[in-house]
C-alpha cells in the first residue's frame, strides 16, 4: 500500500505545496458549484418562461458559461 511506504520525515516545502494545491482545488470546486447553480437558475428561468432563449444566451455569455453549453447545441463544437 502506498501510505505504508511513505517516509516519516515531513518536507516543509512539499507541505506548503500540498496546502496550496489543496486550497486551489477547493477554490475550483467552489467555482464549479457556482457555475452549476447559475446553469440551474438559467434552465429554471427558461422552464418557467421567465427568460427567453435570447435572454438565456445573453445570461450565459455574461457569466462566461456559453462555451459549456454551445458544444451540446446542433452545429456546436465538439
Q: What is the pLDDT of residues 1-38, one digit of tens each?
A: 555 666 667 788 889 999 999 999 999 999 999 999 99
Per DSSP, 47 falls in state H
CA distance 32 to 38: 10
Using a cut of 0.85, tell me whether the model's pTM lies above it. no
Amino acid at each position: 500500500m502506498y501510505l505504508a511506504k511513505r517516509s516519516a520525515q515531513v518536507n516543509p516545502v512539499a507541505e506548503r505545496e500540498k496546502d496550496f494545491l489543496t486550497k486551489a482545488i477547493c477554490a475550483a470546486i467552489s467555482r464549479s458549484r457556482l457555475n452549476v447553480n447559475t446553469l440551474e437558475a438559467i434552465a429554471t428561468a427558461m422552464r418557467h418562461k421567465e427568460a427567453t432563449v435570447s435572454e438565456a444566451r445573453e445570461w450565459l455569455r455574461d457569466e462566461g458559461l456559453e462555451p459549456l453549453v454551445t458544444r451540446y447545441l446542433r452545429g456546436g463544437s465538439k
